[in-house]
Amino acid sequence: MLRLEQVTKTYRLGAFGLQKLTAVRDVSFEIGEREIVSLIGESGSGKSTIGKLILRLIPVTSGRISFEGTDVSTLDGRALKEYYRKVQGVFQDPFASFNPIFKADRIFRMVHDEFYPHLGAREWAEKVEGALRAVGLNPPDVLNKFPHQLSGGQLQRFLVARALLLDIRLLIADEIISMLDASTRVDVLNLLADLKARGLSILFITHDLSLGYYISERAIILYRGRIAEMGPTDKVYNRPLHPYTEMLMESVPRLDRKWEEEIRVEREGGLAGPTGDGCVYASRCPLAMDICAREEPELKEAETGHFVACWAR
């Protein structure tokens, strides 16, 4: 369905744009039909940038993003509008997606005016009610309310309902539960799983390893804009190959141990100083070799469907 091929995003910085920052470099992966893929990385790894690139909110510097075989960058006018009928995004802060001076359901009227102007009031009301009930909301309880009168979880469900009104096929879920309390998080995760069962594909962007494991069939580990490892979620989590992935797994708190027992001594090893054109993880890696500082490792298939970018593996 969706394919990224050697996608790179470079920002120009400084007063005259003379400096460059590469936020995403040579990223390639696919999302299939009815599949949930977790894109996992720490803050600043480039995962939200990838979401924005897919949604055409920012342009790709190089590489190609295609949806159902069509290059997304070539879309404009009616073709771009049709793309947004099929691909939508929901972001981290639900309150930032609503204008506080308007009632929350104004976002539904905007969808109606832009995509369904031919639908009458009664037919549209039935469609909105169906979308709200599909995300576990009772229409009389949430319609005609201002954003401050609704919880963060309700607002996130509002945004998912808005996407469902368009009969989308791919949802970019960018940290959509990071601002929600624990009980509401589970509800939203279960909602995503239910949407997947109905035929929706999801790119689940998160920094939380446990959430990625709970929700996805495949996981992609991103580090400083590059894919360190990707594959079936069980393999990536239970048999990590990249030293960075191993470090992440070791850092997950455990319920059977006290915090004091979980204090981890930083591993020895790694190469001092900048890595240049080599592996971006070389300066922190306990397995680093001289080649790691000179050459960037390619993403290779270590076992069926399980890929890693590491000279030592």
Complete DSSP assignment for 8-41: EEEEEESTTS-EEEEEEEEEEEEE-TT-EEEEE-
Whether residue 92 is contained in a domain is answered as yes
**Lowest-pLDDT range of 17-31, 116-130, 165-179, 255-269:** 255-269
Q: Report the distance separating Cα 244 and Cα 312, nearest Å.
A: 12
Model confidence at 259: pLDDT above 60:
no
In 180-279, which ranges are E strands? 201-206, 218-223, 226-232
Rounded to two decimals, the pTM is 0.85
CB contact set of 4 (below 8 Å; sequence gap of 6+): 27, 28, 29, 30, 50, 54, 63, 64, 65
Distance (Å, whole) CA 39 – CA 131: 27
Q: Rounded to whole angstroms, how far apart are CA atoms 285 and 169?
A: 39
Query: Looking at residue 275, what is its pLDDT?
Result: 42
Residue 97 included in any domain = yes
Phi, psi of 153 (to 5 degrees): -65, -40
**Cα 292 → chain centroid:** 28
Q: For residue 161, what pLDDT is reported?
A: 86
Number of domains composing the chain = 1
Band of pLDDT at residue 267, cut at 50, 70 and 90 = very low
pLDDT of 74 above 50: yes
Q: Taking 60 as the threshold, does the pLDDT of residue 167 lie above it?
A: yes
Q: Is residue 255 part of a domain?
A: no
Torsion of CA 52, 57, 61, 64, to 10 degrees: 70
Higher local confidence (pLDDT), 138 or 190: 138
How far, CA to CA in Å, does 308 sit from each of 31, 242, 302? Answer: 18, 6, 7
Instruction: Note whether residue 295 is domain-resident.
Output: no
CA distance 176 to 158: 12
Give pLDDT tens digits for 93-128: 878 888 889 998 888 898 899 888 898 989 999 989
Whether 282 maps to a domain, the answer reads no
CA 213 → CA 28, 31, 156, 219, 236, distances in Å?
21, 17, 21, 8, 9
Kindly report the CA angle at 96 between 102 and 123, in degrees rounded to 5?
50
- Give the pairing of strands 218-223 and 226-232: antiparallel
Q: How many CA atoms lie within 13 A of 170 on its CB side?
A: 21
CATH classification at residue 76: 3.40.50.300
- The answer, yes or no, to whether residue 249 has pLDDT greater than 90, is no
The confidence band for 90, taking pLDDT boundaries of 50, 70 and 90, is confident
pLDDT score recorded for residue 309: 92
Segments forming the whole domain that contains residue 229: 2-238
Q: Take residue 22 and report the two structure tokens written for it.
A: 């590469």
User: What is the residue whose two structure tokens read 């509800």?
Assistant: 187
What confidence tens digit (pLDDT) does each residue in 275-291 have?
457 888 888 888 888 89
Within a domain: 260: no
**CA 8 to chain CA mean position, Å:** 16
Residues 3 and 28: their CA atoms lie apart, in Å, by 7
| Beta-strand pair 300-303/201-206 | unpaired
In a domain, 281, yes or no: no
Is residue 308, in this structure, part of any structural domain at all? no
- What is the predicted pLDDT for the residue at 187? 76
Q: What is the pLDDT of residue 272?
A: 41
